[in-house]
Amino acid sequence: MKKLYGVGTGPGDKELLTLKAVKVIEGAKVIFAPNNKGKNMALDTVKDYIHNKKVVLLDFPMGEVKMDDYTKAAKIIYKEISDEEYGVFLTIGDPMIYSTFIYIMEELEKTDVEVEIVSGIPSFIAGAAKSKTPITIKKDRFLLCDEFQEEMLDNVDSICILKTLKDKEDILDSFEKKNFIYKYIKRCTLEDEKVLMDRKAIVEDKDYISLIIGRRKKDD
């Protein structure tokens, strides 16, 4: 039987790869990853363990991905994996959190390919550690999202917003109005990582690889 591992490579620091991820990657016959103009952060993270394996980059047009793209990718994966062998699909963070792999998995479930997940450290967990911000404590309500609306803050104690390139001013306005403190983490665990708390610096930053963690003030 053919098999595909969905492997989370974490937020970018190769030292945060799990032992299982390394073991699975080293034993794979072929490595798959989304094509980002010939580059891929997940590939960069695991490059020391790929050696001379075949690498197949799969195209998913940014902002224009359709179900046909996932279907085509699943067909390529099926073709590239030989019987009784396995491949690895790399994804930054964790395969089950806002990942292209989720849709690939759904397509492969229509075939006889066995799928297994190897969890990775998500960026918001690494960001919480770097900024020393508790994600959640006893009796807290936590929300993870990639599209923000102010009313979301009414029923949570902490929140993490991914993909914060746009609308940062509106997000911070909402946080301040609802009595939330916030921290902005860019390029978490990478060499040019920064944790920002100054509003002006946060608004002016234009890095796509960023997130905001907010917590309701204790006196609220």
Q: What is the predicted pLDDT for the residue at 64?
A: 76
Give the Cα separation of 215 and 53 in Å (integer).
Answer: 44
Inter-helix orientation angle 19-27/41-50, to 10°: 70
Pick the CATH number of 3-118 from 3.40.50.720, 1.10.357.10, 3.40.1010.10, 3.40.50.300: 3.40.1010.10
Q: What is the predicted pLDDT for the residue at 61?
A: 73
Q: What is the predicted pLDDT for the residue at 220?
A: 52
Instruction: Pick out the chain residues at pLDDT < 70.
Output: 38, 62-63, 219-220
Bridge partners for 144 per DSSP: 160
H helix and E strand count, the chain? 7, 10
Angle made by CA atoms 189, 191, 196, in degrees to the nearest 5: 65
Q: What is the predicted pLDDT for the residue at 219?
A: 67
CATH of the domain spanning 123-216: 3.30.950.10
Q: What is the predicted pLDDT for the residue at 150?
A: 96
Strand order in the sheet with 158-162: 142-145, 158-162, 210-216, 180-186, 194-196
Q: What's the distance, Cα to Cα, between the start and end of the chain in Å? A: 56
Would you list the domain boundaries of the chain? Answer: 3-118, 123-216
Q: What is the pLDDT of residues 74-124, one digit of tens each?
A: 999 999 999 999 999 999 999 999 999 999 999 999 999 999 999 999 999
